[in-house]
């Protein structure tokens, strides 16, 4: 009785381990089911729930994308075009590609979540972003009430960003993603930690499988497993500043690390900013800043989404007071009044 009054429980569907309810939870296994939804209706799209923070009970339905399947669309000298359902587990697709010696996504090994959510924030890790292999997405267009293709060049991909999470939010639901993978791909070992891990194993000329395994091992030592400690990976994006701002900051804070971007801007690691403000490993109530990686906020057990949001707000305020830099959440905040 109690459960039906509250609605559908979402505890099992978000990696922060937040106990919250939606009015309804629908399992979307075929794109045709989406025809029942219209713009303006209260609903949200859910993949694996590994990049959301649910800060209240939710009005309307949560549509959990469970369209699966992986198929080869084309295989020729230019590469292999692979189509996967939005509900497919991302790392499952990486494994599928490794088994067939198809390169391009091995650096994105073990990123939690689904294939359908991968373009939303243009997932990236260890020097590779999804946009580099993204051919197109098939989306249900809620306004036109039909399926259309969105190609890579239209998607507005940027650092942890795309039109899917910006201008197109609420318009397109991704049903399938097509990736352009390659045989005999040269793995990207541009990240020092990856090269060092391979060297430690005595691997001089790594295969894509070697790179994937090295990255899986690195990730397991650095990031908390959500099934043991609720979290959504990096809570904040890294900070981006223009060259003038960076030189002002560098004068005031000589130890501040930064990475120049191809467009001349500088990326400042938010984890460093947070750590230098003394947050790393700090716990307040049921929320903490992860001891091994300050960018990750963790639910120490039973925290509400609001508690995590308040903790994040305090972290961001300290960074702003110290450096004048605004931390932008990478995690999607789901909150209704």
Dist CA 119 CA 106 (whole Å): 16
Distances 261 to 158, 166, 327, 330 between C-alpha atoms, Å: 12, 22, 18, 19
Shortest distance, CB of residue 2 to ligand FAD, whole angstroms?
A: 26
User: Contact between 26 and ligand FAD (CB under 6 A)?
Assistant: no
Per-position DSSP letters for 35-87, written without gaps between them = GG--TTS-EEEESSSSSEEE-S-EEEEEEEE----EEEEEEETTEEEEEEETT
User: Contact between 114 and ligand FAD (CB under 6 A)?
Assistant: yes
What residues from 148 to 187 belong to the interface with ligand FAD (CB under 6 A)?
164, 173-174
The nearer residue to ligand FAD, 218 or 315, going by C-beta atoms, is 218
Between the CA atoms of 250, 122, 328 and 18, what dihedral angle is there, to the nearest 10 degrees? -140
What residues from 40 to 79 belong to the interface with ligand FAD (CB under 6 A)?
44-52, 65
Q: Given the rule CB under 6 A, which of 108-116, 188-196, 201-209, 247-255 is the region that contacts ligand FAD?
A: 108-116
Given the residues 131, 162, 212, 234, the one annotated as active site: 234
Query: Is 171 annotated as catalytic?
Result: no
The nearer residue to ligand FAD, 195 or 219, going by C-beta atoms, is 219
The nearer residue to ligand FAD, 104 or 226, going by C-beta atoms, is 226
Shortest distance, CB of residue 9 to ligand FAD, whole angstroms?
A: 16
What residues from 295 to 324 belong to the interface with ligand FAD (CB under 6 A)?
none
The nearer residue to ligand FAD, 114 or 240, going by C-beta atoms, is 114
Comparing C-alpha atoms, which of 90, 95, 76, 142 is closest to residue 121? 90
β-strands 259-260, 266-268 pairing: antiparallel
Catalytic residue list: 160, 234, 330
């Amino acid at each position: 009785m109690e459960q039906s009054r509250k609605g559908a429980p979402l505890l099992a569907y978000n990696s922060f381990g937040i106990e919250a309810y939606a009015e309804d939870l629908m399992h979307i296994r075929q794109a045709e089911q989406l025809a029942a939804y219209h713009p303006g209706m209260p609903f949200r799209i859910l993949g694996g729930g590994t990049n959301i923070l649910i800060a209240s009970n939710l009005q309307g339905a949560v549509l959990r994308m469970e369209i699966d399947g992986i198929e080869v669309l084309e295989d020729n000298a230019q590469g292999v075009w692979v189509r996967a359902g939005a509900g497919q587990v991302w790392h499952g697709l990486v494994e599928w590609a490794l088994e067939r010696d198809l390169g391009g996504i091995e650096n994105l090994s073990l990123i939690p979540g689904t294939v359908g959510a991968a373009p939303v924030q243009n997932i990236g890790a260890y020097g590779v972003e999804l946009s580099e292999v993204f051919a197109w997405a098939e989306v249900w267009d809620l306004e036109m009430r039909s399926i259309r293709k969105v190609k890579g060049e239209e998607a507005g991909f940027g650092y942890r960003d795309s039109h899917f999470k910006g201008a197109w939010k609420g318009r397109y639901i991704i049903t399938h993603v097509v990736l352009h993978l390659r045989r005999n791909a040269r793995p990207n070992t541009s990240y020092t930690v990856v090269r060092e891990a391979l060297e430690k194993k005595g691997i001089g000329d790594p295969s894509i499988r070697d790179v994937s395994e090295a990255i899986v091992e690195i990730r397991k030592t650095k990031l908390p497993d959500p099934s043991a400690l609720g979290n959504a990976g990096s809570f904040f994006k890294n900070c981006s500043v223009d060259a003038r701002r960076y030189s002002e900051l560098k004068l005031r804070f000589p130890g501040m690390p930064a990475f120049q971007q191809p467009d001349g801007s500088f990326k400042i690691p938010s984890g460093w900013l947070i750590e230098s403000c003394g947050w790393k490993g700090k716990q307040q109530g049921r929320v903490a800043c992860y001891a091994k990686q300050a960018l990750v906020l963790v639910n120490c057990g039973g925290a509400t989404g609001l508690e995590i949001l308040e903790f994040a707000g305090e972290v961001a305020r300290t960074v702003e007071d110290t450096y004048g830099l605004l931390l932008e959440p990478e995690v999607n905040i789901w909150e209704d009044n």
